[in-house]
């Protein structure tokens, strides 16, 4: 089994070391912009491999990622370099999004070109919005982030220390953003089947003080580490290595990772079943009312970060069959007939129509980022990147209804009369032409979400 790592800085090197010592993959390829660094790390590690399992480690270029089942992306600036080490800064790691998004614009397409079937594992901060960015550049949904897996482990470690029990006996999760708005799920935190709150009460400790101190220690653990050694690297390296091997071995293990949750219109962390294709299923834990509200606030924080750096600005014109056709025929012909135009009227990409579990059809808009340059100076007009807009439509009995847009946005639908003859391969011999029309869909940003679904339901990645 083959794993690749792009970006051999502090986190990338720590991940490589963890993978090598765990020795559960056969081949590890290290890719770095400065190849001499990747070569040096690979060479240094190879000298210790006789004491580990059988694993081949080599430096390489993007082409050497071919055949990898997982590619870890750890490239970009870290918290110390990006100035994200202020405990009083509510943005926290999200401050790094703009700079690291530009790095992903270059890196992700090259990964997909070399290893189109690989799962992309985001380890760069901030991982949650960078998963959405990577999905846009990868044009597939096999992208996950390290998310709050490390936060959950830190939570368990601090609980175990305070309660003087083994870490393995503690069951506790942190969900939402890997950052300042993360949500500690105290309502289901347990040791030996007994709730933490009851154990704290049994020991005559003040739960509110206990809770506040634990959350403070966990939420800003990265800054405490940075103050000591300059970078938070070893814990996240071990976590990233574990996620990579779970994917490579199709283990179906369950822990919180970042994946795009359609009900929230953004990537955030929830306990998930992890396998060869990445996230197989999302398992939303039972939450108290306060935790549910906190998770929504965390999602809103992430949506605002994406809106700031990658606003949705799309006008789209899509041709969809509306009347007198079977759903399968609508999907077959519509998939070829859908095109999209941007604000200047230029075709920005193709859309895809797929069956949505018999409910209707789903239009997955993938707007390509365009190199918009000023005609006089030749310089880019702005640094904004357009993320995918997933427009969920339901077509029944000739009527079209907008179900949901993610990211949340305002959409207006109108129809234009016309005809459609259906896909020749699908139409029965001698069948009359099918009547239809054109669907004009306009999308613009929304400051607040327009809809919400079941947070525990995962509709699966777009492929």
Supply 187's token pair.
């309502």
Which residue, 257, 253, 256, is CA-closest to 273? 253
Choose the catalytic residue: 140, 158, 178, 392: 178
Which residues touch 280 (CB under 8 Å, ≥6 apart)? 252, 272, 273, 274
Euclidean distance between CA atoms 274 and 252, whole angstroms: 5
Cis peptide before 456 (omega within 30 of 0): no
CA distances from 112 to 12, 240, 388 (A): 19, 20, 17
- Count CA within 13 A, CB hemisphere, residue 76: 28
CA distances from 3 to 35, 83, 156, 191, 243 (A): 17, 31, 28, 35, 11
What's the gap between Cα 166 and its chain centre? 32
Supply 245's token pair.
């091997």
Q: What angle do CA 73, 77, 83 make, to 5 degrees?
A: 145
Euclidean distance between CA atoms 262 and 306, whole angstroms: 15
- Which helix (H) or strand (E) segment holds residue 134: the answer is helix 127-138
Q: Which residues partner with 318 through β-bridges?
A: 439
Neighbours of 80 (CB within 10 A): 16
- Which helix (H) or strand (E) segment holds residue 257: the answer is strand 253-261
Q: Under a CB-based contact definition with an 8 Å cutoff, are residues 235 and 247 in contact?
A: no
Q: Is 178 a catalytic residue?
A: yes
Euclidean distance between CA atoms 292 and 91, whole angstroms: 21
Tokens 């870490």 sit on residue: 167
Which residues touch 194 (CB under 8 Å, ≥6 apart)? none
Euclidean distance between CA atoms 199 and 204, whole angstroms: 9
Q: Under a CB-based contact definition with an 8 Å cutoff, are residues 303 and 312 in contact?
A: no
Which residue, 58, 34, 30, is CA-closest to 46? 58
Euclidean distance between CA atoms 131 and 144, whole angstroms: 6
Supply 307's token pair.
């809106």
**What are φ and ψ of residue 451, in 5° steps?**
-165, 170
Instruction: Read off the DSSP letter of residue 109.
Output: H
* Residues catalogued as catalytic: 178
């Amino acid at each position: 089994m083959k794993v690749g790592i792009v970006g051999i800085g502090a986190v990338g090197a720590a991940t490589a070391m963890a993978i090598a010592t765990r020795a559960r993959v056969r081949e590890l390829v290290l890719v770095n912009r400065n190849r001499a660094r990747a070569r040096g790390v690979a060479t240094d590690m190879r000298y210790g491999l006789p004491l580990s399992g059988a694993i081949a480690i080599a430096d390489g270029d993007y082409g050497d990622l071919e055949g990898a089942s997982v590619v870890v992306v750890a490239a970009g600036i870290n918290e110390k370099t990006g100035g994200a080490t202020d405990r009083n800064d509510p943005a926290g790691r999200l401050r790094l999004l703009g700079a690291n998004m530009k790095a992903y614009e270059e890196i992700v397409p090259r990964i997909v070109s070399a290893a189109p079937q690989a799962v992309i594992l985001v380890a760069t901060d901030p991982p949650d919005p960078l998963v959405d960015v990577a999905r846009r550049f990868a044009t597939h949904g096999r992208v996950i982030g390290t998310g709050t897996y490390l936060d959950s482990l830190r939570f368990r470690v601090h609980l175990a220390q305070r309660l003087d029990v083994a870490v393995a006996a503690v069951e506790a999760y942190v969900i939402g953003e890997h950052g300042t708005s993360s949500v500690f799920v105290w309502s289901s935190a347990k040791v030996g089947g007994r709730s933490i709150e009851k154990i704290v009460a049994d020991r005559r400790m003040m739960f509110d003080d206990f809770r506040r101190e634990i959350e403070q220690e966990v939420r800003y653990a990265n800054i405490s580490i940075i103050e000591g050694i300059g970078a938070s690297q070893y814990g996240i390296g071990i976590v990233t290595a574990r996620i990579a091997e779970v994917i490579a071995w199709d283990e179906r293990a369950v822990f919180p990772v970042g994946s795009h949750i359609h009900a929230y219109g953004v990537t955030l962390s929830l306990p998930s079943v992890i396998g060869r294709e990445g996230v197989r299923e999302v398992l939303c834990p039972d939450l108290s009312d306060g935790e549910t509200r906190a998770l929504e606030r965390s999602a809103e924080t992430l949506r605002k970060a994406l809106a700031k750096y990658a606003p949705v600005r799309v006008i789209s014109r899509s041709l969809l069959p509306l009347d007198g056709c079977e759903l399968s025929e609508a999907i077959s012909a519509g998939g070829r007939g859908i095109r999209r135009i941007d604000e200047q009227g230029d075709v920005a990409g193709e859309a895809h129509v797929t069956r949505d579990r018999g409910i209707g059809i789903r239009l997955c808009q993938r707007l390509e980022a365009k190199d918009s340059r000023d005609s006089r100076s030749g310089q880019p007009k702005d640094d904004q990147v357009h993320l995918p807009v997933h427009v969920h439509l339901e077509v029944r009995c000739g009527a079209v209804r907008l179900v949901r847009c993610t990211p949340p946005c305002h959409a207006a639908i109108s129809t234009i009369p016309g005809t459609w003859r259906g896909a020749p391969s699908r139409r029965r011999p001698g069948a009359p032409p099918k009547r239809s029309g054109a669907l004009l869909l306009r999308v613009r940003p929304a400051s607040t979400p327009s809809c919400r679904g079941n947070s525990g339901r995962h509709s699966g990645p777009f492929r």
